[in-house]
Amino acid sequence: MKIFKSLALSAVALVGFVAYTGTANADEINYTIKANDTLSSIAQEYFGSSDYVNRIATDNNISNVNLIYVGETLVLNTDASATVAQTTATAASTSQAATTQTTQTTQTTTQSTTTYSSTATGSEAEAKEWIANKESGGSYTATNGQYIGRYQLTSSYLNGDYSAANQEKVANAYVLSRYGSWTAAKAFWLANGWY
């Protein structure tokens, strides 16, 4: 009888612990970072948009959104009300970042355009957009160490001109010379497990 009481108390304690830890926030997902993950790819997977990078960084006290570690666990808050608030905050943050980058770019070059319309169509356009999202979340103002812009090219490739038009021109030339096409570049990267 004593064993039965001990087992019953242990079971109650375990259920209580699981209930306490499991229901703290049903809208939170614990995600363990894997090789080749980026906050952008994680945001795209769990929130449907790379616009949630800053939200994930804020929720997990990450000061550099371009620096995460394999094996680290992130808490992803998928609460719908927080999503609406974050969308507004992200838009304001993105606008501020774009303004700052445009000001800096204007000081170093006379071509400071931050938007560009691509001439690629069909599967080429899809592959180009996929690569841009993997590289920078599609942002012309993204930086990661020595890599700059939508396609994460070096300053030497861009010759100091960080405008959207120049980024597109240089990226097109690079992809054409190395892979032959955007679809070939995407296929090569997928075949080699880069993303």
What's the average model confidence in pLDDT over 130-159?
88
Average of per-residue pLDDT values in the chain: 74
Q: Provide mean pLDDT across the span 78-106.
A: 51
The DSSP bridge partners found for residue 76 are 29
Cα separations (Å) of 114 from 41, 133, 149, 157?
22, 16, 10, 18
Give backbone dihedrals phi and psi of 29, rounded to 5 degrees, phi first. Answer: -120, 130
The dihedral formed by the CA atoms of 175, 99, 48 and 184, expressed in degrees to the nearest 10: 0
Cβ burial of 86 (10 Å; 0-12, 13-18, 19+) is buried
Q: What pLDDT shows up at residue 120?
A: 65
Tens of pLDDT, residues 1-43: 455 445 444 544 444 444 444 444 567 888 898 888 888 888 8
What's the half-sphere exposure (Cβ side, CA atoms, 13 Å) at 124? 10
Question: What is the reported pLDDT for 180?
Answer: 92
Strand segments, DSSP code E, in the chain are: 28-32, 73-77, 143-144, 147-148, 153-154
